[in-house]
Amino acid sequence: MDSNEAVEHLATIRKIMESATKLTVLPGRAAIAGGVLALVGSVISYRLLGGLSFGAAATMSARQQCAVAGLWMGVALIAVVVDILFTVRLAKKQGRSPWSRMGQLAAYTMGPAVLVASALTVSLTDHGLWEPLPAIWMMLYGVAVWMSSLLSTRAPGLLGLFFLFAGFATLMWAGPVALVMVALTFGAAHIVYGIYLLKRFGE
């Protein structure tokens, strides 16, 4: 390898590292918006469930169950749309494609966990098993975020680990107060994470 090739390799590595950092920045404002949505969803869920356990949905009418499921499907869908909008906005601001190779890889790493979470949600609710849902959501989301951190800096990985531990704790011990855990993870943790990214990267 001559000096010119070495310079080209270093430039390529630098470009990849810069892209990874930019990928970390993307969830900033979207994370805050998603956190606020999750907190609102938690408050509404408390009123629908009449308590802090998702297990209460098992004894509710089909109409009430649809309301709970529809609420969280709506929260998730709106959060995804908001994330996409902020991602596209930031990409245009930085003069790059919102569907870059790094973005594609992030979607590929997170996609399987999201699909598994969706399938388990449909199956468990169909069998009347509501209580483990929040823990499953947390752990699979944690896996998705953890995997995306392989393409980025350390911050998403720490967020993913937090979700994994919180999901495990909810599954083993905190089921009766699962709604509190949802508010702490999908709500407060996302807001704190988003604020950190805004202060760290300014976007």
Residue 5: inside a domain, yes or no?
no
pLDDT tens for 44-71 read 999 999 999 999 999 999 999 999 999 9
Instruction: Report pLDDT digits (tens) over 139-188.
Output: 999 998 888 777 666 677 889 999 999 999 999 999 999 999 999 999 99
Rounded to an integer, the average pLDDT of 91-120 is: 75
| Amino acid 197: pLDDT | 85
Q: Which amino acid is at 128?
A: G
Residue 181 lies in a domain: yes
Tell me: pLDDT of 195 over 60.
Answer: yes
Region 16-39: mean pLDDT is 71
Between residues 24 and 194, the one the model is more confident about = 194
* Structural domain includes residue 91: yes
**Sequence-separated (6 or more) residues with CB below 8 Å from residue 202:** none
* Residue, of 77 and 202, whose pLDDT is higher: 77
Q: Name which of 168, 170, 147, 169 is nearest 157 in CA terms.
A: 147
Minimal CA–CA distance to 185: which of 163, 154, 160? 163
pLDDT at residue 23 above 60? no
What are the tens digits of pLDDT across the range 28-46?
A: 888 999 999 999 999 999 9
* Other residues' Cβ atoms within 10 Å of the Cβ of residue 30: 23
Can you give the pTM of this predicted structure? Answer: 0.84
Q: What's the whole-number mean pLDDT along residues 101-118?
A: 77
**65 assigned to some structural domain:** yes
Q: How many domains does the chain divide into?
A: 1
In a domain, 70, yes or no: yes
For the stretch 68-98, pLDDT in tens is 999 999 999 998 888 888 877 777 776 766 6
Token code pair at residue 172 = 């083993």
Q: Are 32 and 195 in contact (CB under 8 A)?
A: yes
The three state secondary structure string of the chain is CCHHHHHHHHHHHHHHHHHHHHHHHCHHHHHHHHHHHHHHHHHHHHHHHCCCCHHHHHHCCHHHHHHHHHHHHHHHHHHHHHHHHHHHHHHHHCCCCCCCHHHHHHHHHHHHHHHHHHHHHHHHHHCCCCCCHHHHHHHHHHHHHHHHHHHCCHHHHHHHHHHHHHHHHHHHCCHHHHHHHHHHHHHHHHHHHHHHHHHHHCC
Q: Which amino acid is at 19?
A: S
Q: Is residue 15 part of a domain?
A: no
In a domain, 67, yes or no: yes
Structural domain including 142 reads 22-201
- More confident site: 110 or 167: 167
> What pLDDT, on the 0 to 100 scale, is given for residue 151?
64
Residue 14 belongs to some domain of the structure:
no
